[in-house]
Amino acid sequence: MPRRERNKFVKRGQVIEILIEDYAFGGKGIGRIRNKHGEFVVFVPNTLPGQLVKAQVKKASKKYAECKLFEVLKSSDDEIDSPYQDIPGAPYIKLPLEKQHEYKKQSTLQLFKRIGKVADIEDKFDEFINSPNTFHYRNKMEYGFSAIGYNHELKTDVDEFTLGFKKRGTWWCGDNLNNDSGLFDAELENNLKNIRAYCQNTGLAPWHAPKKEGFFRYFVVRKSYKTNKLLFNLVTTSYDLPKFSLNKFAEYLTELFGNRVAGFLHTINDEIGDRTIATTGSIKLIYGEDKIVEELLGLNFEISMKSFFQTNPKSAEKLYSKVVEYVLEKQEAVDNSVVLDLFCGTGTIGQIIANKANNTKIVGVDIVASAIEDAKENAKRNNIEGLKFYAADVGKFLTEHPEYKNKIRTIVLDPARAGIAPKTLKKIINLNAERLVYVSCNPATQARDTEQLMQSGYQIKKISLVDQFPHTAHIETVVLFEK
């Protein structure tokens, strides 16, 4: 067997300091190590050109290494001061928005060139859509409890009761959120230290990740932008539960937030895995309602703790408006016909199309049964007719319903991050629709699917980018394909 050539630049597990020189898609900063053996590329997620960073090598091949960010040692000259507490979920909050947009646009279009083989992608570019709210735009946040905290002065982990987010680059260490992070509700986040103090004063232990024991695990909050109400979920283990008064905690939340409290739920999670809601656990309503109502483009949606709903609803309106614009661009391909809405989730896109088209039948399909239940309820609430929802695997559904072949002129696709499975994509192509509107939260898998669609006779007519998550590397894309 030929000997694997040894990497002459870095070893797995090694901690390095490196200057970030460039930016690649998905928020990966590019650094370069130069020595007598030549030049070697290092990727560090959530970093920016101009930053000097400390990172650990997780994977090293002959040509490049993938690292994990530990710490930014020196800021980039592009960064500005931020009034918000620094958190791992907003790595670019100190970067001016126009610079964030420039990096996102450039790196996304580059993907379509490289992976999708679309040489003239710039000519297809329609628009970059900003999020209406740049700060405080999220409608859900999960805060974790931890028995191990981080001391920023001593730069070491310490035993302490924490409530906030994981310290960057660690799985065992929590970092207290003491002030507004700039992403969620300012009043809630400025009060999180009081909620932490309340829980700490009970004498019950926070979750200890290495030992896999403790009582307090997560504090999850959902917010409605329509009503400004908050829905709370405290996740604990069942151990020590008799010592904790859930009703008193509900009273404390209403003391802090008054009539903003829509409801308070309690979840038991005794599993050792790092998931908020366990598969085996129970969820119980302690106070108020178990749902909040959100509005999107004039339609109302009921959201429970478990429902999937767009995290940035104001920006989702912009995203869905763009999808509907592409769908209705050829009104004759929609009116008096069937539109397939695949990977439809809670059916939001289908409902908006049905609301704006004439005599159009929408068929929505998604594998998540609870999402389909929500979709049916929402359609009822909004009095929208002509909608049919199926809880099924998209690939299986298309095999079991051959009657749609050559009958569908427009298909809407909104798959999960992994994109569309090749076999399912083949079945979608076989339906022979004239037009596809493909929404993606992961342009890398969308670019991969683009190559197969182009080989099957589809061309990109337009592409738009929507900044759903300012201050992060995420970007949503809407692409219109036509035969």
Output the known binding site.
310, 343, 366, 414
Q: Which of 173, 199, 344, 441 is catalytic?
A: 441
Q: Is the torsion defined by CA of 363, 369, 375, 378 positive or negative?
A: positive
Residue in the structure block whose two tokens are 């008096």: 336
55, 127, 189 from 186: Cα distances, Å: 31, 31, 5
Q: How far is CA 333 from CA 215, 343, 410, 426, in A?
A: 56, 21, 7, 22
| Amino acid in position 227 | T
Give the DSSP H/E element, type plus range, for residue 461.
strand 459-466
Distance CA 318, CA 170 (A): 35
Q: Annotated catalytic, 441?
A: yes
If phi > 0 it is left, if psi is from -120 to 50 it is alpha, else beta; for residue 46 that is left
Q: How many CB atoms lie within 10 A of CB 137?
A: 22
- CA 45 vs CA 86, 114, 478: distances in Å: 16, 20, 24
The annotated binding site for S-adenosyl-L-methionine is made up of 310, 343, 366, 414
Tokens of 37: 């053996």
In Å, how far are 236, 276, 287, 463 from 283, measured between CA atoms?
11, 11, 12, 42
CA distance 397 to 393: 6
Q: How far apart are CA 242 and CA 283, in angstroms?
A: 16
Task: For residues 11 and 82, give the distance between their C-alpha atoms in angstroms, rounded to a whole number.
Answer: 36
- The region, left, alpha or beta by phi > 0 then psi within -120 to 50, assigned to residue 295 is beta
SS3 157: strand
Which residues lie closer than 8 Å to 11 by C-beta, 6 or more apart?
57, 60
Other CB atoms within 10 Å distance of the CB of residue 130: 16
CA distance to 24, 34, 94, 128, per residue, from 134 (Å):
23, 39, 12, 14
Residue 156 phi, psi dihedral angles, 5° rounding: -150, 160
Which residue numbers are catalytic?
441
